[in-house]
Structure 1
């Protein structure tokens, strides 16, 4: 599997992730923009992702649940802020209840995801921004690094098929 770059910057409360996929740009894009495809890889195994509703457009939302093998559900919501087809997606995400109401006990993460064609396929870059170092650390302590790396590797496995 391709290596994943995962860098944290405590001073700026940011995380940078980069991975190159041996796939076509449109194919990788589709796995970020189609709820059925997202559900196939977005949660680290043995968890799974279940989309409740998705409206992929500027100002739209994606409500989903991370579901454990015991059917325990953790709900999250993504608010799409700016979409540049096949190039980039800016969104904010946060934990919420099953109705999509934000859980204020957890931080909001602002994401900028870039898709760039390279000789090897597609370079995916993810820049995550937090309001503070404390909020970034809270997400990291929940296992974000391990979980996100696992999901990107799951996506890589799917794209190989």
Structure 2
């Protein structure tokens, strides 16, 4: 299991997930840079993702939807804010309607994904920062930890396949 640590800190309004992968930093970066690979690991296995637009370029917007086992679609977006390939990227992560308009009733978190060499592979650190403790609790209650953990645990199989 790649996920090695999960911490939510209501005082600092953060959720941090650490995962270790038996692949080089550049290979893990490719998973996030390539929409077709990212679709295979973004979201839990029962909610596969489809990225409509995706580019890890500052100022760009990635849009996607996840499809439930019943066929319901749930959309989201990433507004990419910073990129330091292959070490880190950050984005504002939000929920959207099916036309990718941001949902004003849902929180938008700031996410920082960073990758570093560790024990011959990669240590990935995922930090989600929220504006209020209530917004952090809302995404926790929606299953963000379980969803991210199951998504991250799919990466090993993807990178092993080539």
Gaps of 5+ in 1: none
**2:36 corresponds to which residue?**
36
**1:154 corresponds to which residue?**
154
- TM-score, scaled relative to structure 2: 0.95
1:55-103 alpha-carbon deviations (Å, 9 max, x no partner): 3211001100011122210000000000001010010110011222110
**1:7 corresponds to which residue?**
7
Equivalent residues of 2:80, 2:92 under 8 A apart: yes
Structure 1 counterpart SS, 2:155: helix
Gaps of 5+ in 2: none
Equivalent residues of 1:53, 1:64 under 8 A apart: yes
Aligned partners of 2:2, 2:14: CA distance in 1, in Å? 23
Structure 1 counterpart SS, 2:154: helix
Structure 1 counterpart SS, 2:94: strand
**1:76 corresponds to which residue?**
76
**1:119 corresponds to which residue?**
119
**1:46 corresponds to which residue?**
46
Equivalent residues of 1:21, 1:120 under 8 A apart: no
Equivalent residues of 2:107, 2:135 under 8 A apart: yes
Aligned partners of 2:150, 2:58: CA distance in 1, in Å? 28
Aligned partners of 1:107, 1:7: CA distance in 2, in Å? 19
Q: From the superposition, tell whether residues 2 and 78 of structure 1 become closer, same or farther in structure 2 (CA, over 3 Å).
A: closer
**1:18 corresponds to which residue?**
18
Aligned partners of 1:37, 1:3: CA distance in 2, in Å? 19
Is it true that 1:61 corresponds to 2:67 in the alignment? no
Give the 4+ runs in structure 1 shifted more than 3 A.
none
Aligned partners of 1:54, 1:61: CA distance in 2, in Å? 7
Aligned partners of 1:47, 1:3: CA distance in 2, in Å? 19
Aligned partners of 1:3, 1:42: CA distance in 2, in Å? 15
**1:138 corresponds to which residue?**
138
